[in-house]
Amino acid sequence: MPPEQTPTFQSGPQALQWKRLKRLNLVGARLEYLTRVTPFDRFFAAAILPLFPKFVSPNRLTIFRFISIPFILFLLLLDYAVAGTILFVLAALSDALDGALARTKHRITKWGIVADPIADKLLIGSVALLVLWKYLGWPVVTALVLVELILAGTAYFRYRRVVMPAKTVGKLKMVLQCFGVGFLLLYAITPIPFLLLIGTYVIYAAILFGLASLFVYRSI
């Protein structure tokens, strides 16, 4: 086993973050993956994050996503499709922003690592069940639920003793699900058949990425 690398920084937010993650047994490739700043992170850090007041933290953005879920479902159930779609888009955008803020500002926490994927699944899962059942029927809903249950069970039994961040394939699946549901919500506002067609195929792609995630988890 190669010796553990010692960070070159001695103080500041990056050093505090490194100490937090070390206590979670996140080292090596897992630590590098979790803290890697992506081009999307840099874009959000330059274009959007400066607009946020200083009291906005990654964890508070994740909490916003939790809180928004019942309001989104309430609006959609009452056929307020425009308001429900706008709130869904904001909640989905917070998924990208909380990670970008955490990585670029060195504010990754144990709570954020655990809560972020849970908030993702609750948001997309609850809205997807409602929208997919309405427009695509139970077979697609059943397939999506089965994939998520298999993924959750696989991750639990493999990483139940380790805090494990979401992998890239899983994030891509989440993005596809958001776009698929987004197209279906747009179809609810403006019933153009093309929107329904695109939304359907994007959801199918999300299910395939979910299946691909199984092989990624097995290779870790």
- Selected residue with higher pLDDT from 87 and 15: 87
Q: What confidence tens digit (pLDDT) does each residue in 139-165 have?
A: 888 887 887 777 766 655 555 555 445
Residues 67-71 have a mean pLDDT of 96
pLDDT for 106: 81
Q: What is the CATH number of domain 13-219?
A: 1.20.120
Residues 97-102 have a mean pLDDT of 89
Q: What CA–CA distance (Å, rounded) separates 215 from 29?
A: 17
> Residue 100: what residue type?
A
Is the whole model's pTM more than 0.95, yes or no? no
Q: Average per-residue pLDDT in the chain?
A: 79
Instruction: Please tell me the total number of residues recorded for the chain in this structure.
Output: 220
Contact 154, 169 (CB under 8 A): no
pLDDT at 26 over 90: no
Domain boundaries, the chain: 13-219
pLDDT at 66 over 50: yes
